[in-house]
């Protein structure tokens, strides 16, 4: 390891570090970066998201070696991968289960931020980068789902692109422009392939890098929501912090091991996960003359889909769907509480967050179901529960009777 700036170690390591600050980077980011001591289970999901990203990149790159894009070849090539490429079935399942795993991890990662106020100042930009990553991820997942060109792929593309048609004035033209044809067709499939394989992964990598740099700049939040930099020891290091390496490298590895174990159980034993990760309808080729019944997007989109369907007006429904996603962006400014973590917040916030959580889960379930009068009513009720969390936050976050926030972290180890 390089000791100080003027001296370099002998040999190759010194030669390298004089030209590229590898040792300096590792030292600053791993050894000298102090993370709060009191991270709990909710703090695994950031590193897990990175693991899933790498896994999707690897499996995706290898799938692209065998996949043949084209409305007459896509479906066949996926079956070629499943049956005739050595371990092709494993490549496919890693990627399809990985996509769902990505959203499980990301939703839990975001939920951590909701609980502990990780979006509040000075971490607003960190939160915004994360939200852009979420948007990019949704686009990536949507386009990836179209690529097998199964019947659900086709109809998902049809329905979701049509939502853009509700935009006033430019809607219909926009839809044709996105599709590149009068209906979802080869042109659509091909451009989605390019975006899914090249463009959005590059955007994602850039956003993840920005997200990590922003994190490094402000430092991580923690379950107590206090700033660990406020209390330093004689050596200048935060009293409530611990070097990221070896303590959090070692802890994250356990999280990764647990995650991979669960992931492997799904990939090898239940890759379709009861019709949630790979839908039955998608094992039939795309058929413009036959809509699958029931039609629903992938589970990670269904909460928003349920909100869309709950509204009797097409344009209004699309608008509410947009607001449902965009509301997250405004959280840092909607939240007027002086306190970050739920541990020290009052019962208003806890109540609304609980209502939001239940609503999100209920909407997810409802979005998978076919339309019925009872389900429609329920979806409307839970949509209210969803929006109330955001729209009323400027008031209830101020009314809340907060508890005194401690100076130092308290944790259970």
Partner 1 sequence: MTDAEASDDQELVDADRRKFLTAATSATAAVGVVFAASPFIASWQPSERARALGAPVTVDLSKLEVGQMITPMWRRQPIYIFRRPPELVAQLAAHDGRLKDPKSADSEQPAYAMNERRSRRDDIAVLIGVCTHLGCLPKQRFEPGDAQLGTDWPGGFLCPCHGSRFDLAGRVFSGSPASVNLRIPPYSFPDENTLIIGEDGTSTASGAA
Partner 2 sequence: MNRSALFAAALLGAACSLSVAGQEPAAPAAEAVPWDSWQAGNEVSNVASLQRGFRNFMNYCVGCHSMKYVRYSRVATDLKIPTGMLKADLLPDGAAPADYIHASLQAQDGVAWFGKEPPDLSLIARSRGVDRIYRFLKTFYLDPSRPTRTNNLVLDAAAMPAVLSDLEGVKAAVFSDVKVTVDGRTITEKKFDHFVTVVPGRMSGPEFDAFLRDTVNFLDYAGEPAQVDRRNLGVWVVLFLLVFTWLAWLLKKEYWKDVH
Residues that bind partner 2 (CB under 8 A): 37, 76, 79-80, 82-83, 89-90, 93, 242, 246-247, 250-251, 253-254, 256-258, 260-262, 264-265, 267-271, 280-281, 283-284, 413
List of residues 6+ apart from 238 with CB closer than 8 A = 34, 36, 228, 229, 231, 232
List of residues 6+ apart from 332 with CB closer than 8 A = 119, 120, 121, 123, 124, 127
* Residue closer to partner 1 (CB basis): 66 or 273: 66
| Token pair of 406 as six digits | 């401690």
Smallest distance, partner 1 to C-beta of residue 91, A: 6
* Residue closer to partner 2 (CB basis): 261 or 374: 261
**What is the distance between the alpha carbons of residues 270 and 84, in angstroms, rounded to a whole number?**
21
**What is the distance between the alpha carbons of residues 222 and 63, in angstroms, rounded to a whole number?**
39
**What is the distance between the alpha carbons of residues 279 and 249, in angstroms, rounded to a whole number?**
37
**What is the distance between the alpha carbons of residues 139 and 204, in angstroms, rounded to a whole number?**
11
Pick from partner 1, partner 2, none: which does 264 bind, CB < 5 to 8 A by kind?
partner 2
Pick from partner 1, partner 2, none: which does 56 bind, CB < 5 to 8 A by kind?
none
Smallest distance, partner 2 to C-beta of residue 412, A: 12
* Residue closer to partner 2 (CB basis): 234 or 289: 289
Pick from partner 2, partner 1, none: which does 65 bind, CB < 5 to 8 A by kind?
partner 1
Smallest distance, partner 1 to C-beta of residue 289, A: 30
* Residue closer to partner 2 (CB basis): 248 or 305: 248
Strands 34-36 and 241-243: antiparallel
Smallest distance, partner 1 to C-beta of residue 260, A: 9
Pick from partner 2, partner 1, none: which does 31 bind, CB < 5 to 8 A by kind?
partner 1
Smallest distance, partner 1 to C-beta of residue 344, A: 28
Nearest-10 Cα torsion for 336, 342, 345, 351:
90
* Residue closer to partner 2 (CB basis): 31 or 254: 254
Pick from partner 2, partner 1, none: which does 76 bind, CB < 5 to 8 A by kind?
partner 2
Which contacts of 159-168 are long-range, i.e. CB under 8 A and separated by 24 or more positions?
159/295, 159/297, 160/297, 161/188, 163/308, 163/318, 163/321, 166/314, 166/315, 166/317, 166/318, 166/319, 167/318, 168/315
Pick from partner 2, partner 1, none: which does 326 bind, CB < 5 to 8 A by kind?
none
| Token pair of 234 as six digits | 């004689």
Burial class of residue 247 in the structure, from the number of CB atoms within 10 Å of its CB (0-12 exposed, 13-18 middle, 19+ buried): middle
Contact residues for partner 1, defined by CB under 8 A: 31, 58, 62, 65-66, 80, 83-88, 90-91, 243, 246, 253
**What is the distance between the alpha carbons of residues 258 and 47, in angstroms, rounded to a whole number?**
13
* Residue closer to partner 2 (CB basis): 255 or 385: 255
Nearest-10 Cα torsion for 75, 184, 153, 329:
140
Smallest distance, partner 2 to C-beta of residue 255, A: 9
* Residue closer to partner 1 (CB basis): 41 or 61: 61
**What is the distance between the alpha carbons of residues 18 and 6, in angstroms, rounded to a whole number?**
10
Smallest distance, partner 2 to C-beta of residue 317, A: 25
Backbone angles phi, psi at 277, to 5 degrees: -90, -30
Smallest distance, partner 2 to C-beta of residue 185, A: 22
Q: Shortest CA distance to 166 belongs to which of 308, 315, 320? A: 315
Smallest distance, partner 2 to C-beta of residue 251, A: 5
Pick from partner 1, partner 2, none: which does 280 bind, CB < 5 to 8 A by kind?
partner 2
* Residue closer to partner 1 (CB basis): 1 or 170: 1
| Token pair of 235 as six digits | 């050596």
* Residue closer to partner 2 (CB basis): 141 or 281: 281
């Amino acid at each position: 390891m390089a000791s100080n700036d003027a001296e370099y170690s002998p040999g190759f390591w010194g030669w390298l570090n004089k030209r590229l600050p590898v040792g300096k980077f590792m030292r600053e980011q791993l050894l000298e970066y102090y993370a709060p001591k009191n991270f709990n289970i909710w703090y695994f999901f950031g590193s897990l998201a990175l693991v899933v990203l790498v896994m999707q990149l690897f499996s995706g790159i290898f799938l692209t070696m065998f996949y043949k894009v084209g409305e007459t070849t896509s479906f066949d090539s996926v079956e070629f991968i499943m049956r005739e490429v050595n371990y092709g079935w494993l490549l496919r399942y890693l990627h399809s289960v990985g996509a769902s795993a990505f959203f499980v991890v990301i939703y839990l990662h975001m939920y951590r931020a909701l609980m502990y106020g990780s979006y509040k100042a000075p971490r607003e930009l960190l939160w915004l980068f994360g939200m852009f990553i979420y948007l990019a991820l949704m686009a990536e997942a949507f386009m990836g789902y179209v690529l097998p060109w199964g019947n659900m792929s086709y109809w998902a593309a049809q329905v979701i692109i049509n939502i853009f048609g509700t935009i006033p004035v430019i809607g219909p033209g926009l839809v044709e422009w996105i599709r590149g044809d009068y209906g979802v067709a080869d042109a659509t499939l091909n451009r989605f392939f390019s975006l899914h394989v090249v463009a959005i992964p590059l955007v994602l990598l850039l956003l993840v890098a920005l997200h990590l740099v922003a994190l490094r700049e402000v430092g991580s939040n923690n379950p107590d929501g206090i700033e660990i930099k406020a209390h330093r020891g004689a050596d200048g290091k935060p009293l409530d912090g611990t070097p990221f390496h070896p303590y959090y490298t070692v802890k994250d590895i356990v999280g990764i091991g647990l995650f991979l174990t669960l992931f492997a159980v799904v990939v090898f034993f239940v890759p379709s996960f009861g019709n949630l990760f790979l839908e039955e309808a998608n094992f039939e080729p795309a058929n413009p003359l036959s809509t699958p019944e029931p039609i629903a997007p992938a589970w990670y989109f269904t909460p928003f889909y349920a909100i869309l369907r709950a509204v009797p007006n097409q344009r209004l429904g699309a608008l509410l769907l947009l607001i449902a996603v965009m509301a997250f962006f405004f959280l840092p400014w909607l939240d007027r509480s002086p306190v970050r973590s739920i541990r020290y917040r009052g019962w208003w916030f806890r109540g609304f967050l609980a209502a939001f959580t239940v609503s999100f889960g209920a909407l997810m379930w409802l979005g998978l179901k076919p339309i019925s009068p009872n389900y429609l009513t329920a979806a409307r009720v839970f949509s209210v529960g969803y929006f109330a969390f955001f729209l009323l936050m400027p008031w209830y976050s101020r009314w809340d009777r907060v508890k005194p926030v401690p100076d130092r972290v308290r944790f259970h180890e």
